[in-house]
Amino acid sequence: MVLGWMFTGRVVIAVGRYTSLRLIDSPKSVREALCVAQQSMLLRDDPRLMIYIDKVSRLIDECDRNRPLGPDGSHGDRHTATCGCEW
């Protein structure tokens, strides 16, 4: 379970109850990579991958919680303390 994100320059740290992840990317690019991975798994049409598709979906949801998107898919002025923007 990811409890929040901290953005420091190019390093994103996902802080969870059990672990922390250090990523050298913004929440936006992490979300984009997760979406590509999820779509690749969906295209394989392998029911054994559903557990991983669900996990990736939860990670995407967490990215969206920290860097919200509007109905048109843009971030716009929906800034949070963890979105990674310099506003």
Helix (H, G, I), strand (E, B) or coil at 34: helix
Spans of the chain, pLDDT less than 50: 1
Q: In angstroms, rounded to a whole number, what is the distance separating the alpha carbons of residues 53 and 8?
A: 28
Number of H helices, E strands in the chain: 2, 3
Query: What pLDDT score does 78 carry?
Result: 86
Given this model, what pLDDT does residue 43 score?
Answer: 95
Domain boundaries, the chain: 2-66
Contact 2, 35 (CB under 8 A): no
**pLDDT score, position 1:** 46
Output the pTM of the full model: 0.70
Beta-carbon contacts of 71 under 8 Å, excluding residues fewer than 6 positions away, are: none
The sign of the dihedral angle between the CA atoms of 39, 61, 76, 11 is negative
